[in-house]
Amino acid sequence: MAKVATKLKKRINDSYRIIIEKNISRQIPQYLEELELGKKYAIITDTIVEKLFAKKLQNALKRKKIKSEIFVIKKGETSKTLKTVEEVAIKMIEKGIDRHDAVIALGGGVVGDIAGFVAAIYMRGIPYIQVPTTLLAMVDSAVGGKTGVDLPVGKNLIGTITQPKAVFIDIAYLKGLPDKQVKSGLSEIIKYGVIKSKRLFKYIEKNLDDILKKDEEALKHIIKESIRIKTKIVEKDEQEGNLRMILNYGHTYGHALEKLSGYKLLHGFAISVGMVIMNKIAVERGLLKQKHSDRITELLKRAGLPTTALKTPTKKQLLGDKKKQGDYINFVLPVKIGKAVIQPEKCL
Give pLDDT, residue 79: 96
User: What type of residue sits at position 134?
Assistant: T
Burial class, 310, CB count within 10 angstroms (exposed 0-12 / middle 13-18 / buried 19+): exposed
Q: 323: closest CA among 147, 112, 157, 136?
A: 157
Q: Which pLDDT band, with edges at 50, 70 and 90, does 10 fall under?
A: low
146-151 and 154-161 beta bridge pairing: antiparallel
Contact 194, 275 (CB under 8 A): yes
Least confident of 102-116, 131-145, 198-212, 318-332: 318-332
Give pLDDT, residue 153: 84
Tens digits of residue pLDDT in 54-100: 999 999 999 999 999 999 999 999 999 999 999 999 999 999 999 99
Q: Rounded distance, CA 249 to CA 191, Å?
A: 7
Residue 50 has φ and ψ, to the nearest 5°, of: -55, -45
Tens digits of residue pLDDT in 249-278: 999 999 999 989 989 999 999 999 999 999
Contact 168, 30 (CB under 8 A): no
Give pLDDT, residue 318: 77
Element at 51 (helix H, strand E): none
User: What type of residue sits at position 49?
Assistant: V
User: What type of residue sits at position 133?
Assistant: T
Q: Round the average pLDDT of the chain to a whole number and report it.
A: 93
Q: Rounded distance, CA 108 to CA 324, Å?
A: 27
| Ramachandran class of 80: left when φ > 0, alpha when ψ lies in -120 to 50, beta otherwise | beta
Contact 206, 198 (CB under 8 A): no
Q: Give the angle subtended at the CA of 271 by the CAs of 53 and 181, to the nearest 5°.
A: 25
Task: Kindly state the average pLDDT of the residues 42-53.
Answer: 96
- DSSP-assigned letter for residue 35: H
Task: Kindly state the average pLDDT of the residues 320-339.
Answer: 81
Quick count: other Cβ atoms within 10 Å of Cβ 69?
A: 17
Q: Which pLDDT band, with edges at 50, 70 and 90, does 243 fall under?
A: confident
User: What type of residue sits at position 272?
Assistant: S
Give the residue numbers marked as catalytic: 124, 146, 188, 230, 240, 244, 248, 251, 255, 267
Query: How many CA atoms does the CB half-sphere of 116 hold within 13 Å?
Result: 33
